[in-house]
A and B are shown apart, each in its own frame.
Chain A
Amino acid sequence: MLKEETKNAKNGKKKKKVGEPRQPMPEQDPRTRARNFEEVPKGYTDEMAIAEAARCLTCKKPKCVEGCPVRINIPGFVGLIADGRFIEAAMKLKEDTALPAVCGRVCPQETQCEAECVLGKKFEPVAIGRLERFAADYARDHGEPDPDVTSPTGKKVAVIGAGPAGITAASDLACRGHKIIMFEALHQPGGVLVYGIPQFRLPKEIVQYEVNGLKKLGVEIRTDYVIGKTETVDQLLEEYDAVFIATGAGLPMFLGIPGENAIGVFSANEFLTRVNLMKAYDFPHHATSPIRADHVITVGGGNVAMDSARTALRLETRSTIVYRRSRAEMPARDEEIHHAEEEGVAMNLLTNPVRILSDENNRATGMECIRMELGEPDESGRRRPVPIEGSEFVIEADTMVIAIGNRPNPLIPQTTEGLDVSKWGTVEVNEETMATSKDGVFAAGDIVSGAATVISAMGQGKQAADAIHEYLTG
């Protein structure tokens, strides 16, 4: 590949700056940002974006695209940025992803597209995520043309859940001329993008913008509408030609240790929802009770744990993570762990909670933990943590956030007849078409895969949209 580049240069083509260092992302100072809810990375300038895009080798067989769950034409959009054609770059992105501004921010690029980047083998990979974000932000700020919508097909699809999977499928299907009605249980569309991922990682205006984009496509969004309660999937099937279930993994898991129902113990979902969606940090203007803590312990090592621990800092508290394995096994993105450490989150690794201590009013006062050591690898391939006997100790804290994952929300599986569900509560689907056991009903996202990432939900949403289109027109 490198040889080819040199050859190109000799042929008088644009010279690639192979080996130029990657453009660093301008960021807020860690200590300032730990106290505010503004976004941490500030984004590339035009010049930085062009310089970074110019690093791309425009491989003939781009490996990066293979690494992307939604198969974005990465060399295509990066090349347009390198030529300064930013709006066109954004349009190119939109061909494959409904939410480039979101993915550019929250995707784990280092394990997906960027991990595959050829340049990364010898140098740093092209900063695909940052470029994606740049193009999407540029288009949002400068106005982008409306997408092409084919003529109406007369088919109606119910999309349940306005999160990443639902938005992707709704957008795809609407562009293909189907009438989309989206049902959202909460009072705002966006799903985990509005209740879960904090403002400093994903500004809510971006989600709002993308949702407005959906509305422009003619998608009708019914908030405050809980399918499985307000109406069931079976009732929807009487009115719609197809139903797409994208309700996510909205049932928090707890540790199952004594004292866990003490006041001050939150699921990460509740903790983040209070702050993000309900804006409790803006109490009393927003009425939801704020979380006032001296010390917040977050249990878990995933992205949600990092989000919670960093949110805690922004509530002006001390913030500690308790995780039972070591840093290397943390499932969170490296960048997020790094940000958390940089901002001052204390890491208590190889530590497992044993019980939660509370006072006579059932208010949490501390967490008894035990030290762990790593033993043999388990099914996941990660070394299994084993408790060290007699190493119990107490961390004093008044607030604990349990961020150890979510199970699928049971409302729809419980109320839909003939819908096959796994023993973990996930909806069983054909992995190619995302079709469920029920005719005309498709499912994707965390309700299918358990708790995973925004981009994998989007990838599945896209797959499902193709299959639904096929189902409706085939």
Chain B
Amino acid sequence: MPQISLTIDGIEIEADEGTMVLDVARKAGIEIPTVCAHEDLAPYGACRLCIVDIEGLPGLPTSCTTPAAPGMVVHTQTEALQSLRQRTLELMLSGHPKGCLVCPHRTDCENHRPNPTKAGRTTRCGFCSNRSGCSIRDMSFEMCPTSELDLPTIYYGYNLERSDPFMDRDYNLCVLCAKCWRICEKIHGKPALSLVNRGRWARPGTNFDKSYVGSGCTFCGACIDICPTGTLSDRTGRWHGQPDKITLSTCTLCPEGCSMWVHTTDGKVTSTRMWAFDRESRLCALGRFVFAQMHNAPIRLRRPYVRTNGESIPMEWDDALKAAAERLSAFDKGQVVVIASECDTRETRYLYQKLAVEELSADVLFVPLGGSGDPSLGERLRDGSVKAAIVAGDFLDQESIERLECLIAVDWRPSDVSRNADIVLPAAILSESEGTFRDASGNVRSVPCCSETVGEARPEWRIVRDIARAMGSEEFDYETINDVTSEIVDDRPPSPWNGSPRDNLKELPGHFRGHCIADSAQEVEMLGLPTKAVRKRSETEEEGFRIIEKKEIVPNFHLLEVEAPQVARFAKPGQFVIVMVSEESERVPYTLADWNEETGTITMIVEEVGRSSREVALLKEGGMIAHVTGPLGMPVNIEKFGTVVMGAGCYGVGAVYPIARAMKAAGNRVITVVEACSYYLIYWEDKLAEVSDEILFATKDGSRGTHGGVQDVFGQLLTSTDGGSDPPDVFVAIGCTFMMRSAVEVTRASRVPTYVALNPIMVDGTGMCGACRCTVEGETRFACIDGPIFNGHEVDWDELSSRRSAYANVEVEALSHGGPPEPLEAQAGGSAARGVCSEDRCDFANIRPTYGN
């Protein structure tokens, strides 16, 4: 290609003719902001952030779509360009929930809560699983000081789509960069998703809003991985944040042996990615989504076991290996058989082969993917010519197992084989162990070890080596995997898999080492893969507490009205209930937001921030909740104080309502301060107005009332000099820990009592367990029976915050289970009829911006 020369920002640059100006600039180290351009995609010009000024050309063309020409003089950083880009970004972000970007308390808040909240709907960066990897966020800090992002957010109110396997979709975050459907088209030719609807309702979507499974999607994950926002996300991987290590490896779930990136954090596989965004490198659903889940499956073999006198007993490795060697030595030539998977690494297969031939004079059988044991094996077991077996997978039927005199299982999860085995040796799998892999086409690929093993499991090549050593062999003196690799001369590739899983969901292999993959990664059952697990589908509760009303009143906040007469009869302001949605649920405390003794109902406001609140979010009117216990906790002390200021944020808006009502009834002047990230998240304004003498607002994006939070309004009220109004006598603040803590700091100097409702983790809620202990006035108190309401000036906030994070890791893990995917048959009926754009949205009352106060 002919070389040309052009000038960008005063620097003369050589480039291939026809290269786009953006790429030329990038190559020269000149950064031009862009959201929609991607090195693996054709130029598109959707975001218009990469505009440049080219001398002699009219207007400001987008550099991603303008080819470089000889002698061009390009400016990328003029004042006019910067101002226009700011406006462009501002417009883009007006359709993207951006509260945190313009929040005056962002830095403190993010220090307080280093990881994003695991919300159902993302209504700000603090609730976004993509926060740590978001380029738009970084760009906005760089390009737009907070004051430049003035346009209020329009929240579209699209429903969350979470009924497909593996992926969650929240179109409310989409900035229409078009990367998702462009990469889908590039990789699959016939894309599963494209732009749907028009004008302001344009968004990515499938034909007729079918489910992704029904739209021909193969779940390669490219759209998720290329999405710059949190719109498309990987359900199990999304809350793990950015990986601390990325390793190029090989997927050995099938003989294809696709290359891929393995993402790990603290030695744990969190996700996998195709190694390049092109058709050849695409992964199948198993490679992209299931690989990580297999590693993290809760059920694994963790310790060696040896059967003694009929009991399978946990043993140290050395004893188990010795036992294996002893038992194997008791058999004659040819009486032992070794059965392993063809998809093992070359080293493991080689060592099995060597062990079989040199030490055991045994037959070795490598089972092809999806195949079962050797058909002649049953015969040989019956005629007694085979008496013992080393089996590395779920490869034997019950009859064969029973006929064996000695069975040694080398495996990663329990099966009938390991349950009946005389010796169980737990093996590391996939990326937990290193080696090389010959794929079905004969190429040798590297499989580096990049994650930690589970329990005491060991790499299989070492297990086989150590069995041989325990048998007294000196031919297995391998120290590293390379010692084994270098000895392999002539190994056969595994038999090819009969199907193309990367192109057809129906052709995914259903087994790994003879085990059903669905037993470790439940979602693949939705794709029709087999399972052996007998799963008890949680049935609709028949006994319990009837749901009278269930509604998402503003994004991510669910109003739940339940029939619980005994609670309604005795409830007092400031009390809470413990809820168990089903018999398998956690016991979770929710503050009482309202109750009605006559109808016997209670109302709670639940913010979806994890697995248990997601269970609440998915409830439906008319259904049942298994358990509601309460009212619990000490009620707020209600008396005539004078002026009472109620600060409410998030779920606290519901929680302060009954307190405000009682305070007002007791003759106080009640000023209520409502905090929300943005105007569209304010709820119960009318209800609060009824019980307040004055109602003030604070929003983190400044879209309504004070730009800031409850703490800022408290500060104003304390220093307010406009005569007439008395200074506050009591403050009450209920909301997130950060808000309450900040509010308390503001009122501390004034010594005006500031009551807060602490929200530690609870189990029983009646004082029995002490999980909720907090330090108040230097003493350990139980929030459930001594609180939850305390004077915030006396609370040890650091301790409270740390104790709230006790289960942070487990909470991420929990989200990938007990989740919402409905079985596909339930969706099928509706899928064709769906697709009318008004049905893809929630009817939120309050999502039109008001422009100013």
Contacts and interface: CB of A to CB of B under 8 A. Distances in A.
Interface string B750-785: 000000000000011011111101110000100001
26 contacts: A31-B314, A31-B315, A35-B314, A185-B764, A231-B566, A231-B569, A231-B570, A251-B768, A254-B780, A261-B774, A261-B775, A263-B803, A267-B771, A273-B763, A273-B764, A274-B763, A279-B584, A283-B810, A288-B763, A289-B806, A289-B811, A316-B303, A362-B798, A410-B767, A410-B785, A411-B766
B580 interface: yes
A283 B566 CA distance: 32
Interface stretch (B104-112, B192-200, B242-250, B624-632): B624-632
A250 interface: yes
A85 interface: no
B567 to A, nearest CB: 7
B313 A32 contact: yes
B298 interface: yes
Contact of B766 (A226, A270, A274, A279): A226
Interface residues of B, number: 59
B766 A185 contact: yes
B587 A34 contact: no
A252 B627 contact: no
A380 interface: no
Contacts of B640: none
Contact of A186 (B570, B764, B767, B816): B764
- Between A34, A195, A229, A363, the greatest number of chain B beta carbons within 10 A of the residue's beta carbon is seen for A229
Contacts of A288: 586-587, 763
Interface of A: 28-29, 31-32, 34-35, 185-187, 195, 223-226, 229-231, 250-252, 254, 260-261, 263-264, 266-267, 269-270, 273-274, 278-279, 283-290, 292, 316, 361-363, 409-411
B627 A226 contact: no
Contact of A287 (B570, B584, B763): B584
Contacts of B626: 187
Contact of B629 (A31, A226, A409, A411): A226
B131 interface: no
Given A270-B770, A284-B817, A225 B566 contact: yes
A229 B631 contact: yes
B850 interface: no
A342 B628 CA distance: 42
The 5 closest A-B pairs by CB, nearest first: A284-B817, A362-B802, A270-B769, A250-B768, A224-B629
Nearest to B811: A289
A260 B629 contact: no
A399 to B, nearest CB: 11
B203 interface: no
B629 A254 contact: no
Interface string B809-828: 01101101110000000000
Given A186-B764, A362-B802, A28 B586 contact: no
B742 interface: no
A229 B784 CA distance: 11
Interface string B621-641: 000001111111000000000
Interface of B: 298, 302-303, 308-309, 311-315, 455, 566-567, 569-570, 575, 580, 583-587, 611-612, 615, 626-632, 763-764, 766-771, 773-775, 780, 785, 798-799, 802-803, 805-807, 810-811, 813-814, 816-818
Contacts of A31: 313-315
Given A273-B764, A409-B767, A260 B780 contact: yes
A362 B803 contact: yes
A contacts with B: majority SS? loop
Contacts of B303: 35, 316
B631 A230 contact: yes
B763 A224 contact: no
Contacts of B773: 254, 261
B818 A269 contact: no
Contacts of B767: 250-251, 409-411
- Between A187, A267, A286, A292, the greatest number of chain B beta carbons within 10 A of the residue's beta carbon is seen for A187
Contacts of B811: 289
Contacts, number: 148
A75 B630 CA distance: 47
Contact of A28 (B302, B311, B798): B311
Contacts of A269: 768-770
A284 B629 CA distance: 23
Contacts of B311: 28-29, 32
A466 B584 CA distance: 39
Contacts of A252: 768-770
Nearest to A283: B298
A316 B818 contact: no
Nearest to A267: B770
- Between A226, A269, A283, the greatest number of chain B beta carbons within 10 A of the residue's beta carbon is seen for A226
Contacts of B799: 261, 362
- Between B632, B764, B807, B816, the greatest number of chain A beta carbons within 10 A of the residue's beta carbon is seen for B764
Given A230-B567, A270-B770, A273-B769, A187 B313 contact: no
A273 B628 CA distance: 18
Nearest to A223: B627
- Between B455, B570, B766, B814, the greatest number of chain A beta carbons within 10 A of the residue's beta carbon is seen for B766
Contacts of A261: 773-775, 780, 799, 803
Contacts of A230: 566-567, 570, 629-631
Contacts of A316: 302-303, 455
Contacts of B575: 229
A235 B309 CA distance: 61
Nearest to A253: B770
Nearest to A362: B802
Nearest to B575: A229
A225 B585 CA distance: 18
Contacts of A260: 780
Given A260-B780, A270-B771, A284-B814, A34 B566 contact: no
Nearest to B627: A187
Given A252-B769, A261-B773, A261-B799, A284 B632 contact: no
Given A225-B566, A361-B805, A273 B302 contact: no
A187 B566 contact: no
Contacts of B803: 261, 263, 362
Contact of A292 (B580, B770, B798, B810): B810
A300 to B, nearest CB: 14
B780 A284 contact: no
Contacts of B455: 316
Contacts of B813: 284
Nearest to B768: A250
A187 B543 CA distance: 12
B628 A224 contact: yes
A368 B850 CA distance: 60
Nearest to B315: A31
B585 A287 contact: yes
Contacts of B810: 283, 289-290, 292
Given A35-B314, A231-B566, A274-B763, A286 B627 contact: no
B439 to A, nearest CB: 34
Nearest to A360: B802
Contacts of B583: 187
A274 to B, nearest CB: 7
Given A185-B764, A231-B570, A251-B767, A287 B780 contact: no
Contacts of B763: 270, 273-274, 278, 288
Contacts of A361: 802, 805
- Between B309, B798, B806, the greatest number of chain A beta carbons within 10 A of the residue's beta carbon is seen for B806
A28 B615 CA distance: 39
Given A230-B566, A284-B298, 18 more contacts: A31-B313, A31-B314, A230-B630, A231-B566, A254-B773, A261-B780, A267-B769, A269-B768, A270-B770, A278-B763, A283-B298, A287-B612, A287-B615, A287-B818, A316-B455, A362-B803, A409-B767, A411-B785
B364 to A, nearest CB: 32
Contact of B632 (A229, A279, A289, A409): A229
